[in-house]
Structure formats: structure tokens, C-alpha cells
Amino acid sequence: MFDELITGGTIIEGTGGPGYVADVGISSGRITAIGDLSPSEAAITTDATGMLVTPGFVDPHTHYDAQLLWDPSASPSSIHGVTTVIGGNCGFTLAPLRPGDDDYLRKMMAKVEGMPLAALEAGTDWSWETFGEFLGRLEGNISVNAGFLAGHCAIRRYVMGGEAVGSAASDADLEAIRAELAKAIEAGALGFSFTNSTSHSDGEGEAVASRWATPDELMALAEETGRHEGTTLEGIVPGCLDRFADDEIELLAAMSAAANRPMNWNVLTVDSREADRVPRQLQAADRATELGGRVVALTMPVQVPMNMSLLNFCGLFLIPGWGDILNVDVPERIERLNDADTRVRMLEQSKSPEAGVFRRLADWDDYIVGDTFSSANDGLSGRRVGDIAAERRRSAFGTFLDISIADDLQTVWWPTPQDDDDESWRMRAELWADGRAMIGGSDAGAHLDRMCGAPYPTRFIGDCLRGRKLTTVEQAVKLMTSDPASLFGLIDRGVLREGAWADVVVLDPETIDGGPARLVTDLPADSARLIADSTGVKRVLCNGEVIVTDGVATGAVPGTVLRSGRDTETVTAR
């Protein structure tokens, strides 16, 4: 007798092979039979006739480290069919943590990952110290499977205290940092993550701890990671957002080769207006191969809407020269933005070659007005800046600033994606088939009121079935299941086969999709975030237990904390 029997669905195994109609029998958390299982008995029988039955999706780049402490369901990822999340990316984790140092860590996470500070303060008691103690807080209390890399920033801060920011590590420091990384991995960390991205600053505006590490320090930590079974690497360098410098390519490739582990990075953006970006970024993978390593780019298969504001830190603050203008108190910021010479300079900076990838934010005509907060802006929500500017006989950029200032900079802006053309989508489809890249990069759990990347699995499958149809549904499922599971060496996950863990999604091919992003205030301390509903997600099982029914989380917590060497096998780079 099965615990659950899913009958009559079209099985999409996750291997890329063609779908076929069969039943799936589940017992004790695993898939125990696939085929014609009638007239078998089961405690629960689910009729999946006309449905697709797929493995649970694996999201390789999330920041659910904090949210899972108060939201076991990892919403909204789980309602979009995600059953496994990888956290601890970009060098940022919540452990190890010295007693009394939680305020620094909270403020850093609020700045670099856009997590509301009030939610971080109210959502948990911050009473752990070691990486193992942090993982212990989650064990038995999560709906999805979750694995975490050990972040360089927390480890460096734990060892060096305040000297982690502003100082190179001494030989003794490095020995201690390496020892703490080893302890974290032995406790279950899936590997090592780091950042030296210039966009990552702490709550005081200083470069985060990982950015003060020398290449020798990073190489030593890569080597340490390679000493342990079932581990991997992840890293962020400044060129991830646009184009790598030669030394960045060399660093990523050399670290992977030193560890003999894959190195993944986030995120490779595709834009036909910048056609040379993809081949340049993939040179990191080619160089890694030459050195005996493996570097994998993460790339998203859908457009992720992202809003902007001149009140709170966002991508606009990263346009070269803009940070000097915007990183002051609001009254002074408004005074500067009203200055004609400053406006001219900002416009020139936003269009300059030095703006790199942030030039995509400078199409001022095509910004859409979101929420407004003053009577002067009544009736503008939903309208295009270029149209408003034409009515006012003003420039688009000047109109953008005038509207913002009238709202005391609170205006929410939605830039229209400029990379939604046919050629950009052709380039994306080509990239999905390239072994040097992998689907992922949602950043789920981070930048909570600015973007919502979590719905990408349902949106991608819906697009493959009823939209652009740039790849088959079988390939789309493989890209989001067995491919990421294989990169991390996840044992018995990412595929539907006998003996595998029963991470299963039952979805309706006629309706599967992700809804539009909407703002809700459901975080601790009534903090806000963007979420998106799913349609067509009939049933999601994690380790054989139902965690989502008809797009609604059940509250069950069958998820496993994935630990290196126990739940992962070693994936070498060569």
C-alpha cells in the first residue's frame, strides 16, 4: 500500500526525455514505483489525468536564510513548485555569529540584500552562534529542502571582529578563517561563497568584509572547500553585472581549479543591444576549463519586474556618480535633485559607457509610474513618463525627477524592460542549451519590496507551453530540476525515478503560470514585500508530504536541511 498514488499523469522525469503517461507510487518519503500501478491501494490517491507530473524545482540562488526562520514555506517559491532552495549565496550568511554582533549583521543584510530591517529585528531572536546551531534552528521546521553555503562575510567578521572591514587578514587570521570554514562545512554547509562586488556595502556604507580579502585568502578558502566531500563554490565579482575584467575571469577560474569544485556566479543578463556581453562572460567558463576548473553562469529564463525609488537604495544608486548625490538625507537629496546642473550631470552619467549594465535603467521615457503619494501626482499611476513629459513639454528625465520630488521621493517606478525583443529571446534560448550556463538567479528572499523572481518556474513552463515556445517543456523542466541538482551533487533529487526522494509537482499545462507581482505587508513588524500567486499548481510534495494544494501552502514542514557529504555527493570540476 502506498502513502500516495498519483495516477494518469504525464511524467516529465527531469532528464529531458519525452513525457509518458504513468502512475507514481510514494512510500516513506520516496518514489517507490512508476508505471501502471492499478489497482494498487493508497492512503491518498490523486487523479492527475491531463496533468504534468514533474520533479520539484531546485532554485540554486536564493537568500531565504532569514525568512525561513519565520516563514517555513519559503513563500512564494513553494507555491511555484520549488521544493529545494540554496541559500548562503554572495558571501552572506547569518552564521557564525558572535554574541552581541547581530545588529551589525542585520544592518548589513538589510543593505546588501534588501531585507527590511524591522522584519529582521522582529522575526527571530538571533540566539545562535555556530553555523551548526543556525542549521539546527531550521531542521524539522521548514516546508522545503534547504541547503546553505558558508558566507565569507560572516566567517571573516566572526574571526576578525571589526578589523574584518578595512584590513587584510594576517597569517593567523587566515588560519582561523580557514578553520571556521571547515567547521561550517563539517556542520553541513554546502561549500563556500564570497563577494568582492563593489555594489556590496554594509549598514555603515563600508565595503563588506569579504571585499577586503586578498586573492590569496580567497584561494586558500577555495582549497579548504575542496578538502571536504560534497562541496561547491559560489562567487560574485564586480563584472558579474556587466562584463568581467581579465583578473576576475582568472580569479573565478583559479578558485574552481584549486578546489576541484564547480564555481557558479549570478547573474548573466542577455540583451541584444549588448550582444558581446554573453560571449565575454562565458570566457570565465572557457578559462576554467583550461585550468582544470568549471565555472557556470546562472541566467534567468523570464523577465523579472523590478521597481525603483529615489527614496530607498536600489539600482539607480549604482549608476556611476549617482551615489554621491543620493546617499545623503532626504531634504539635501531633494535640494540636489532640484539643481539644474546636477540634473544635467546625472543624465549624462546615466547614458555614459561607464554606466555599463545600468544604462538599461536610463530609458526614462519608458518608466511607468507606480504608487504615488501626493495630490500633485494624482492620476499618474500606470502612466508612461514619456507621455506625461510630452503633455508638460518637459524632458522625460526632468519629469521623472519632478514627480519623485513631489512625492518626497517615495514614488514607486517600474522601468519597462528594453531587452524583450525577439533577438534577445533567441539569444536566451541559445544560452539555455549551453553547458556553460544554468537556469537560476531568482534572488528569492532578498530585495523584497523591489523585485519578485521566485515565480520563474511557473512562468517559464507556461511560456514554453503556450507562449514563445523557445524550448520543449521536457527541456525546461530539466533545466530547473536535474541540472541544478547535478551541479550541487544533490543525492536522489531533481528526477522522477524509483528510489528518488518524492519531491513532486502536479501541474495543469493549460493554466500553469505565475501571476503579477503585488505588494503585501505580511513580514514581521508589518514590513512589506512583493509576492506573486501561481496558477495551475495543483499539488506539490516535498519528501512525500503535501506542502501546496491548488496554489496554497498547507503549512506542513517535511523539508530537510541539506548537509554536505550526507545529502550531497562530490561533484568535481575535472
In this predicted model, what pLDDT tens digit does every residue of 408-467 receive, in sequence order? Answer: 999 999 999 889 999 999 999 999 999 999 999 999 999 998 999 999 999 999 999 999
**Any domain includes 18:** no
SS3 of residue 77 by DSSP? helix
**Any domain includes 49:** no
Kindly tell me if the per-residue pLDDT of 76 is higher than 90.
Answer: yes
Average the pLDDT over 124-133 and give the result. Answer: 97
Query: Please, which residues bridge with residue 350 across strands?
Result: none
pLDDT class for 305, splitting at 50, 70, 90?
A: confident
Kindly tell me if the per-residue pLDDT of 8 is higher than 90.
Answer: yes
Q: Do 125 and 232 lie in a common domain?
A: yes
Query: What's the pLDDT at 360?
Result: 85
**Any domain includes 557:** no
Q: Do 66 and 132 lie in a common domain?
A: yes
For the record, the C-alpha cell of 66 comes out as 532569514
pLDDT class for 156, splitting at 50, 70, 90?
A: very high
**Any domain includes 11:** no
Cα separation, 167 vs 88, whole angstroms: 23
Kindly tell me if the per-residue pLDDT of 246 is higher than 90.
Answer: yes
pTM of the model: 0.95
SS3 of residue 58 by DSSP? strand
Q: Do 209 and 357 lie in a common domain?
A: no
Average the pLDDT over 74-98 and give the result. Answer: 98
Q: Do 284 and 325 lie in a common domain?
A: no
Q: Do 388 and 423 lie in a common domain?
A: no
Of 303-312, 398-407, 480-489, the poorest mean pLDDT is in 303-312
Query: What's the pLDDT at 241?
Result: 87
Q: Do 63 and 200 lie in a common domain?
A: yes
Last residue of a domain, one of 519, 545, 567: 519
SS3 of residue 240 by DSSP? helix
Question: By C-alpha distance, which of 188, 199, 192 is closest to 235?
Answer: 192
pLDDT class for 355, splitting at 50, 70, 90?
A: confident
H or E, element range at 193: strand 191-195
Q: Is the peptide bond before 60 cis (omega within 30 degrees of 0)?
A: no
Decide if 529 contacts 517 (C-beta within 8 A). no
How close are the terminal C-alpha atoms of the chain, in Å? 44
**Any domain includes 47:** no
Cα separation, 511 vs 476, whole angstroms: 16
Cα separation, 227 vs 185, whole angstroms: 10
Q: Is 230 left (phi over 0), alpha (psi -120 to 50) or beta?
A: left
Q: Do 76 and 165 lie in a common domain?
A: yes
pLDDT class for 334, splitting at 50, 70, 90?
A: very high
Q: Domain tally for the chain?
A: 2
pLDDT class for 312, splitting at 50, 70, 90?
A: confident
Q: Do 193 and 321 lie in a common domain?
A: no
**Any domain includes 16:** no
Q: Do 66 and 161 lie in a common domain?
A: yes
E-strand stretches of 260-320: 262-266, 294-299
**Any domain includes 403:** yes
Alpha helices in 127-260 (DSSP H): 131-138, 152-160, 171-187, 215-226, 246-259
Cα separation, 501 vs 116, whole angstroms: 35
In tens, the pLDDT along 357-374 reads: 888 899 999 999 999 999
In tens, the pLDDT along 491-524 reads: 999 999 999 999 999 999 999 999 998 889 999 9
Q: Do 293 and 321 lie in a common domain?
A: no
Query: What's the pLDDT at 486?
Result: 98
Host domain of residue 376: 315-414
Q: Do 451 and 504 lie in a common domain?
A: yes
Cα separation, 81 vs 461, whole angstroms: 11
Q: Do 498 and 462 lie in a common domain?
A: yes
Query: What's the pLDDT at 418?
Result: 85
Residue 417 exposed, middle or buried by CB count within 10 Å (0-12, 13-18, 19+): middle
Last residue of a domain, one of 351, 380, 414: 414
Q: Are strands 82-87 and 145-148 parallel, antiparallel or unpaired?
A: parallel
**Any domain includes 176:** yes
Alpha helices in 260-415 (DSSP H): 277-291, 322-326, 330-337, 340-351, 385-392, 396-406
Cα separation, 267 vs 10, whole angstroms: 33
pLDDT class for 539, splitting at 50, 70, 90?
A: very high
Cα separation, 162 vs 158, whole angstroms: 9
Question: By C-alpha distance, which of 557, 568, 563, 567 is closest to 68?
Answer: 557
Of 7-16, 296-305, 308-317, 482-491, the poorest mean pLDDT is in 308-317
pLDDT class for 75, splitting at 50, 70, 90?
A: very high
Last residue of a domain, one of 414, 440, 473: 414
**Chain Cα centroid distance, residue 305:** 14
User: What is the residue type of 69?
Assistant: L
CA distance readout (Å), 437 to 141, 148, 469: 33, 21, 20
CATH of the domain at 128: 3.20.20.140
Query: What's the pLDDT at 464?
Result: 98
H or E, element range at 425: helix 422-432
Query: What's the pLDDT at 459?
Result: 98
Query: What's the pLDDT at 319?
Result: 94
Overall residue count recorded for the chain in this entry: 574
